[in-house]
Amino acid sequence: MAADEPTERQLRVMPWWLVLVGLLLAAALGWLVLGLLLTEADRATQPDTRATLRIDAIRTGLTVVAGTGGGLALLLAARRQWITERAQRHQESVAARDQAHRDRVQAHAESAAEVAQRHQDRQSGAAEHDAAERRLTELYTRAVELLGNDSAAVRLGGLHALERLGQDNPAQRPTIAAVLCAYLRMPAPDDEPRETEVRRTAQRVLTRHLRADGPAHWPEITLDLTGARLVDFDAAGCTLVDADFTGAVFTGVTSFAGATARGRLRLGATFGDVTFDDLTAEAEVVLDDARFDGQASFDRAVFTAGLSCRRCRFAGPTSFHRATFHQPTSFDATRFGDGSRFRQATFLGGLSMEHTEFAGYAGFRSVRFADLALFRWTVFAADACFEQARFEGAANFGRARFHGAGRFDGAQFGQPPQVDQARAAAGGGHAWPAGTTVERLDDEWLLLVDH
């Protein structure tokens, strides 16, 4: 019995002698009343009156006996009704308890069945997952084996198998990208056309899935191509996340035009002709120790987190036309072997070009320097054009060398530029900032002195 169900009081059976006692009491009460009334009737003086009174006494006695018996009968009927009602309540209570018990049993059975079904579903799901993982592992292993085959055609098949595997299984994409990068990092036979084609295909597989506007975009894929040899690498429009090309060798024409760099972009590599036009760099771009053997174009590039271009070598023409630098930028100890143009570029952070060498034309026409601009110990081997440039912060040309013409026509300075110990070739057609004092050192050199 449940703890919250009330305990019923035990029903006792009425003994038979209790009914007999009741009848005897009724008879005794009638006899007593009859005796009292007859005694009163005998006291009457008239015989007729006495007879009448005795008859009335007998009738009254019988009425008392009948009434008492009727009362007893009524009590017995009331008890019978109470017992019937109690039996009914007891039956209802038992039925309710039985129903509650059946409900509990049914709920327990349903719960047990649900638990069993969940367990079965988990086992089935685990079995399906294990089967899928085994199949995925087999496909991945087979594709990697194809990639290591001696036949170039088989290796191409392995590349496409890996690509298809990554397209169908997003969780495997970082691993597959890492495998492709590792393949490109491995040494390649020189001038092997078939291997070159395989590597071109591996490059295209990577870049195809790095274009955000493409139907097969793989987001948040990182590239580790340190020391890789890349041929005609085309990352135009790609999204590069923490890409590392340190020590890589780019041959042919390389393009990062319209690319977006998230996370640090490391480009301390060797390039032929390369284009970075319209590059959007949301993190720092590191070009330290890079070599550019051909043309290099950074037109309209936006460097949000700064550019580090220390000790770089630009052999061909270089252009930063209308490029924007939001953070401090460094070209320290960099050499520009051919003409370099920064026309209409904007340096919102500081610019440092200390110990930098411009072997060709250096064009800074209409450039805005919003912060400090350092050109100390900079060598301008040809003409240096700062016409219409705007220096809003301090400008320092201390110990710079102007072998060609130094042109500052229309340049604006927020404060007088520092030119201490700077030298310029005599008779070079210079146009110095207002207030600059020029002294002749000898027949070949002029000395610039701060005003």
* Contact by Cβ (8 Å): 363, 385: yes
* Contact by Cβ (8 Å): 279, 257: yes
User: How far is the C-alpha of 285 from the C-alpha of 76, rounded, in Å?
Assistant: 108
Q: Which helix (H) or strand (E) holds 344?
A: none
* Contact by Cβ (8 Å): 331, 309: yes
At 374 the pLDDT is 97
Could you state, in order of their start, the residue ranges of all structural domains in the chain? 16-114, 220-449
Sequence-ordered list of residues with C-beta below 8 angstroms from that of 433, at least 6 positions apart, any chain: 408, 411, 413, 416, 417, 419
At 131 the pLDDT is 62
At 19 the pLDDT is 65
At 357 the pLDDT is 97
* Contact by Cβ (8 Å): 291, 273: no
At 43 the pLDDT is 66
Whose tokens are 């580790």? That residue is 224
At 364 the pLDDT is 98
At 1 the pLDDT is 45
User: How far is the C-alpha of 421 from the C-alpha of 402, rounded, in Å?
Assistant: 12
Residue 288: which of 245, 346, 341 has the closest Cα?
245
Strand 422-425 relative to strand 445-449, pairing: antiparallel
Q: Which residues of the chain have pLDDT under 50?
A: 1-6
Tell me the pLDDT tens digit for each residue of 20-41: 776 677 677 667 766 776 676 6
Which amino acid is residue 119, in one-letter code? H
Sign of dihedral through CA atoms 187, 193, 194, 198? Answer: positive
